[in-house]
């Protein structure tokens, strides 16, 4: 009995030690500015490779170059405070995002053109050109809020538009952003928590359960148009399907939610109820949208 009690006490002591180490670890993690899961900093189609550390004329590359269409919207990778930076000839129009986690992010080579297609360099590093419309230097932003526009200012004038994106944990030296970008959450549209938006989504139903429908989108539109073009989305979107929603075919109704199972594999157009443009909605997280109407594409005669 004595030895068993000793064993039990040993287990408890060991467990307490493990918990204590765990707590110490997480506290140390918070202090050393652990990089959180990021919101992907550019909307729409982006191509990038792990080019951190590549030798460039000015030294090793300290970020990743996110190749995107000119004037694509750049968004805050996490909540934080913005600082405009307009005096670097190499960086061009740039900004600092001082993240809540203690990590600092650099957004470099922002747009300095007044035309959409040309490379006129006639724009200044100001809100509406380089920085998001209405954004003020020193402003606090939420994750996914627009902060700027992709361009090729500074020493990137001869290259294709891209966001040079840097991650500085604990506001220190830059670290390779690649792994963080790979697992970052992609947004359908920028976060705008005080704006009411509606989603129109066309695609094939991949899953239909009581109270929810999952659709692989082929077309996706946000009203009012938060972005010039809605981002392409590869991942399916799961939407709430209230009891009251009926499925209609060419104006006639075919039944209530009890028959949703028959929708699997079918092409539908869905209109959602208005909702606020929160981060959950902007990311298209499951259940962020409630379906107002499902229209089933009529089969050919
Ligand atoms: Zn770069």
Instruction: Tell me how far apart the alpha carbons of residues 164 and 145 are, in angstroms, rounded to a whole number.
Output: 18
287 Cα–ligand 1 center, Å: 37
Q: What is the pTM of this model?
A: 0.83
Between the CA of 63 and the centroid of ligand 1 the distance, in Å, is: 6
Measure the CA angle with vertex 133, ends 274 and 183; round to 5°: 65
Q: How far is the CA of 184 from the centre of ligand 1 (A)?
A: 19
CA of 67 to the centre of ligand 1 (A): 10
The CA 24 to ligand 1 mean position distance, Å, reads: 37
Neighbours of ion ligand 1 (CB under 5 A): 65, 164
Whether the Cβ atoms of residue 108 and residue 63 lie closer than 8 Å to each other: yes
Residue 234 CA to ligand 1 centre (angstroms)? 27
User: How buried is residue 173: exposed, middle or buried, by Cβ count under 10 Å (0-12/13-18/19+)?
Assistant: exposed
DSSP state of 135: -
Cα(43) to ligand 1 centroid in Å equals 18
**Centroid of ligand 1 to alpha carbon of 126 (angstroms):** 21
CA distances from 108 to 101, 127, 154, 177, 181 (A): 21, 15, 8, 14, 16
- Measured in whole angstroms, the distance separating CA 298 from the mean position of its chain's CA atoms is 35
Interval between CA 117 and ligand 1 midpoint (Å): 21
* Residue 65 Cα to ligand 1 middle (Å): 5
95 Cα to the center of ligand 1, angstroms: 14
**What's the pLDDT at 10?**
52
What pLDDT, on the 0 to 100 scale, is given for residue 220?
86
Phi, psi of 280, deg, nearest 5: -60, -40
The rounded Å distance from CA 201 to ligand 1 centre is 35
Distance 161 CA to ligand 1 centre (A): 11
Q: pLDDT 10s per residue in the chain (301 long)?
A: 344 444 455 544 455 444 444 444 444 344 455 899 999 999 988 999 999 999 998 899 999 999 999 999 999 999 999 999 999 999 999 999 999 999 999 999 999 999 888 889 999 999 999 999 999 999 999 999 999 999 999 999 999 999 999 999 999 999 999 999 999 999 988 999 999 999 999 999 999 888 899 999 888 888 886 554 445 677 888 999 887 787 776 555 655 555 777 889 999 999 999 999 999 999 999 999 999 988 887 766 7
Q: How far is the CA of 188 from the centre of ligand 1 (A)?
A: 25
> Is 259:247 a contact under the CB 8 Å cutoff?
yes
153 CA distance to ligand 1 middle (Å): 11
State in Å: Cα 177 to ligand 1 middle: 12
Main-chain dihedrals φ then ψ at residue 35, nearest 5 degrees: -75, 125
């Amino acid at each position: 009995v004595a030895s068993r009690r000793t064993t039990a006490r040993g287990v408890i002591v060991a467990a307490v030690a493990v918990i204590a180490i765990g707590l110490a670890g997480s506290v140390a993690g918070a202090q050393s500015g652990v990089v959180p899961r990021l919101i992907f900093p550019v909307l729409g189609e982006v191509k990038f490779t792990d080019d951190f550390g590549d030798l460039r004329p000015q030294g090793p590359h300290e970020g990743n170059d996110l190749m995107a269409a000119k004037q694509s919207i750049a968004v805050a990778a996490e909540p934080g405070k913005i600082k405009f930076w307009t005096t670097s000839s190499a960086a061009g129009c740039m900004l600092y995002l001082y993240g809540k986690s203690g990590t600092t992010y650099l957004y470099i080579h922002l747009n300095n053109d007044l035309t959409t297609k040309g490379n006129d360099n006639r724009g200044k590093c100001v809100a509406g050109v380089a920085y998001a419309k209405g954004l003020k230097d020193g402003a606090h932003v939420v994750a996914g809020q627009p902060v700027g526009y992709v361009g090729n200012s500074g020493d990137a004038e001869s290259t294709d538009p891209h966001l040079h994106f840097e991650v500085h944990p604990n506001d220190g030296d830059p670290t390779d952003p690649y792994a963080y970008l790979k697992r970052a959450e992609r947004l359908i549209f920028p976060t705008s928590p005080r704006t009411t938006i509606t989603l129109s989504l066309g695609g094939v139903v991949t899953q239909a359960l009581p109270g929810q429908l999952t659709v692989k989108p082929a077309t996706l539109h946000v009203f009012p148009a938060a972005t010039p073009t809605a981002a392409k989305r590869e991942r399916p979107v799961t939407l709430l399907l209230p009891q009251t929603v009926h499925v209609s075919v060419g104006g006639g109704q075919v039944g209530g939610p009890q028959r949703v199972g028959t929708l699997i594999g079918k092409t539908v157009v869905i209109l959602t109820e208005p909702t606020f443009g929160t981060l959950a909605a902007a990311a298209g997280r499951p259940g962020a949208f409630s379906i107002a109407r499902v229209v089933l594409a009529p089969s050919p005669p």
